[in-house]
Chain A
């Protein structure tokens, strides 16, 4: 059974007849786009685009792979399309149909050959590791003009995508460390411009054209052309597959219209992406202002607690060093450590109730963990410990003043890289992890 939607004779005739007098069946004028709606998902790099009845979801993922031999310092970008039969009965499950391949190719060409996404910035180690971007486009509902909708979905998803930061290190300088998004903020892609696909449908003998055809118009049209163009008016690609022949003057006219539409859509995508990034950024810092005043009310207590904690910290670090030098499986040390930890938990409970500030101001999070000590201990253990203590004091002093804190943090950049690194990740991690859990972990390690 052929499940394609069949236009009736009446519809065919009416659509063409109405177009003779510049009318379209959904009430638009020939060069009007349907209503565009962009919704971003909860995660970075996913977007759902509604263009009238058409709905497309775009999703971007990244993976570290070996680059192609001929381009050792460039990342890769691949478009995958998924045409579900739920979107349109004409789509068969399994093998991608002709429409799916054409859509993927048009979008791929628009993005890649215009070099919209900076590929060289996706390189981590030339010839060894590059990021490979995968854009999945799911057609959720076919209301016509899938190419434009899918193209917008791909662009919106790419503009909100953040790839995890990674650093190169190790003995041979070739080892890649991928940082957890909670440890280091993921990085956005470099997108030079947004190539927008604008589709025209031709009716009659190519004399009548409309922009953004609906699925009914697509069933009736004689030919179609997709121009991919950016807001500067640069033509990135043109796709005209079969159908009625079109005069070159008509194509030039189409390109002029397309560049206007592309500017409109570009600004729309950009404003949506901006909204999304600001809300995301606001979500991150939301806790700080609410909690600062609380702290101001009880400055005395807070200071007392932190100074107490500082002493504790000092004893703890030296204790840890001792422990390491004695050997990891020293039971006695463990026991000596235990009352201390108990003490710490009590202290912490007090601090958390009266300070209530973000936990990265908490002295303990700045404390040296056993693992980081083990690393830093080998060349010059006392120096490192001292370093850390100094840091702690510095932080303690500025604790009641969050603004100063950030500057002192950047000022402390002169310390060893390792110390810095061990501090930054922990402060963020502790923001979500309950204290007692962390402690258990330390026990497990020692």
Chain B
């Protein structure tokens, strides 16, 4: 076991652009670091390959949180979301094939959702999804040459919240914002909202968020708060939510 901790990169929580050197491996030996999205090893250095905010999850996980705009799917260089295994995503059914549902997950290609990948799924009980159905699913296969594959079961074969989402409202945000919403401990925005309002939320790492609440006005309040918090710090988020709730009551 390593006794001393690796010094964190100076750029943590700062904005980085492609080409920025995040870490120099030459002066850190016998240490393991884990690289996430937007980073690449180039000989002895770790460089950023996308623009965004550098994040560090203690002790040694680095990634670049980037926010990308709603962009044409066919522009390959501007993918909004690059699927990776074990991501939870919100997809929209765009087509049904005998073996698969074709699902739009904002990636470079449509994802396949095999009709049998539901809890207790057999040929007999294929779910009927009309086009435009919103699905909460898990990425099980993701590589650069094949379409990604989704599943509506967890690793042990249980449904575990996956599947069709009914009612509620879905909106697009950036991938960075959706990561922030999923971060632990719970982000102050959701915590502050949750104290006053009751709502259900599903966040996909592909930058889609689904919100449901008993009354439409609550859904709108929550979704507006989330969309507005894009560039806010944690303290700003809290005060923004407080202001919003004061206005409502």
Q: Which residues of A contact B (CB under 8 A)?
A: 1-3, 6-15, 17-18, 21, 23-27, 85-86, 88-89
Contacts and interface: CB of A to CB of B under 8 A. Distances in A.
Interface of B: 71-75, 92, 94, 104, 110, 130-134, 165-171, 210, 216-217, 219-221, 223-224
A13 B167 contact: yes
Given A9-B130, A12-B132, A25 B169 contact: yes
A387 to B, nearest CB: 65
B73 A14 contact: no
15 contacts: A1-B73, A6-B94, A6-B104, A6-B131, A6-B132, A9-B130, A10-B167, A10-B210, A14-B219, A17-B216, A18-B219, A23-B217, A86-B71, A86-B72, A89-B72
B134 A3 contact: no
A2 B131 CA distance: 13
Contacts of B170: 8, 10-11
Contacts of B219: 14, 18
B206 to A, nearest CB: 14
A18 B217 CA distance: 8
Contact of B74 (A1, A6, A7, A13): A1
Contacts of A17: 216
Contacts of A88: 72
A9 B132 contact: yes
Contacts of A10: 134, 165-170, 210
B74 A89 contact: yes
Nearest to A8: B134
Contacts of A23: 216-217, 220
Contact of A89 (B73, B92, B133): B73
Contact of B132 (A1, A7, A85): A7
Given A25-B220, A85-B72, 5 more contacts: A8-B92, A8-B133, A14-B169, A18-B169, A26-B224
Contact of A9 (B73, B133, B171): B133
A3 B106 CA distance: 11
A17 B73 CA distance: 30
A25 B130 CA distance: 24
Contacts of A13: 167
A441 to B, nearest CB: 47
A280 B134 CA distance: 52
Nearest to A13: B167
Contacts of B74: 1, 3, 89
A27 B224 contact: yes
A21 B216 CA distance: 9
A148 B223 CA distance: 26
A23 B168 CA distance: 14
A311 to B, nearest CB: 63
Nearest to B169: A14
B241 to A, nearest CB: 14
Contacts of A27: 220-221, 224
B73 A25 contact: no
Choose among B104, B220, B224 the residue with the greatest number of A CB atoms under 10 Å from its CB.
B220
Contacts of B73: 1, 3, 89
A363 to B, nearest CB: 55
A118 to B, nearest CB: 41
B104 A14 contact: no
Contacts of A11: 169-171
A8 B170 CA distance: 8
Contacts of B104: 6
Interface centre among A3, A9, A23 (most CB of B within 10 A): A9
A232 B19 CA distance: 57
Contacts of B165: 10
A43 B226 CA distance: 38
Contacts of B168: 10, 14
Contacts of A12: 132
Given A10-B170, A26-B224, A89-B74, A18 B216 contact: yes
- Could you say which of A10, A12, A21, A89 has the most chain B C-beta atoms within 10 Å of its C-beta? A10
Nearest to A12: B132
A18 B171 CA distance: 15
A388 to B, nearest CB: 61
A261 B41 CA distance: 56
A86 B75 CA distance: 9
A269 B28 CA distance: 60
B235 to A, nearest CB: 23
A89 B72 CA distance: 4
Contact of B220 (A9, A18, A85, A86): A18
Of A24, A27, A88, most B-chain CB atoms within 10 Å: A27
A86 B217 CA distance: 33
Contacts of A7: 132
A8 B105 CA distance: 12
Contacts of A24: 220
B197 to A, nearest CB: 14
A192 to B, nearest CB: 39
Contacts of B92: 6, 8
Contacts of B224: 26-27
A48 B146 CA distance: 42
A3 B220 contact: no
B113 to A, nearest CB: 15
8 closest cross-chain pairs (CB), A and B: A89-B72, A18-B216, A14-B169, A8-B134, A9-B132, A27-B224, A8-B132, A10-B134
Nearest to A215: B70
B81 to A, nearest CB: 15
A3 B216 contact: no
Nearest to B91: A8
A68 B131 CA distance: 52
Contacts of B220: 18, 23-27
A17 B110 CA distance: 30
Contacts of B166: 10
B43 to A, nearest CB: 36
A15 to B, nearest CB: 8
A97 B184 CA distance: 46
Nearest to B227: A26
B56 to A, nearest CB: 32
Q: Which of B131, B167, B168, B169 has the most CB of A within 10 A?
A: B169
